[in-house]
Amino acid sequence: MKTALVTGGGSGIGAAVAHRLRSDGLRVATIDLNAGEEKYSYTADVTDRAAVDAALDKIRTELGPVTVLVNAAGLERFKRFVDLTFADWQKVVDVNLNGVFHCVQATLPDMIEAGWGRIVNISSSSTHSGQPFMAPYVAAKSAVNGLTKSLALEYGPNGVTVNAVPPGFIDTPMLRKAEERGFLGDTQKQIDATPVRRIGRPEDIAAACSFLISEDAGYITGQILGVNGGRNT
């Protein structure tokens, strides 16, 4: 039985991934700013390496070495670029990119030791063509795609695959908050522009993660698997 860590596992996509991996038979721990109700849910800020390491100490004691990591913690900050403060920029990059750095670096030794590992980074479909008012987010998520490819080359020889899943328009608290604040335009227009004609579900992303983590996906690494209803091909 393998142990997985899902960051951002208290909400939206991360919660769906954690649920799916539990159903797949993995031992699953989550970290989030607010730990959820599920067993092995820990409160930790992914930008705080000491907090990540402390959570991992407990997870390893309870569940063993972590050989599966899904990085789903993230935050957006919609603002005109000219109105951004450097602190805004740093916060978005810190959570969406540096958080991935910390969690990968903290768990990779377990995977190298096991000679087997799976990392899936949740990036964003906005990296395909950019997104107005989301420059730091798109920059950070694009860097995550690049990090994914580099790590895939570096750790393939250790039996570790590293892939990214950039979600399209997925119905989560993050999306609904952005919608309420009027940043996403008309939701129906977004759906009409999506070839499969529906909004994505967190479970759509979880299904892709489940596959990429499976033994069957052992020959797939360094890939950016868009799950977006056909909007970005």
- Site of interaction with ligand NAP (CB under 6 A): 7-8, 10-14, 32-34, 45-47, 72-75, 95, 99, 122, 124-125, 167, 169-170, 172-175
State how far the Cα of 221 lies from the Cα of 132, in Å rounded to an integer: 30
> Shortest distance, CB of residue 14 to ligand NAP, whole angstroms?
5
Residue 47 or 210: the one with the smaller Cβ distance to ligand NAP is: 47
Q: Which residues are catalytic?
A: 137
By CB atoms closer than 10 A (0-12, 13-18, 19+), residue 167 is: buried
Residue 30 or 221: the one with the smaller Cβ distance to ligand NAP is: 30
Residue 3 or 41: the one with the smaller Cβ distance to ligand NAP is: 41
User: CB of 17 within 8 A of CB of 71?
Assistant: no
Residues in the chain: 233
> Shortest distance, CB of residue 215 to ligand NAP, whole angstroms?
25
By CB atoms closer than 10 A (0-12, 13-18, 19+), residue 134 is: buried
> Shortest distance, CB of residue 159 to ligand NAP, whole angstroms?
26
Order of strands, sheet of 160-165, starting from the edge strand that comes earlier in the sequence = 41-43, 27-32, 3-7, 66-71, 117-122, 160-165
The encoded tokens of residue 159 equal 């039996």
Instruction: Kindly state the DSSP code that residue 7 receives in the 8-state scheme.
Output: E
Residue 8 or 229: the one with the smaller Cβ distance to ligand NAP is: 8
3-state SS assignment for residue 54: helix
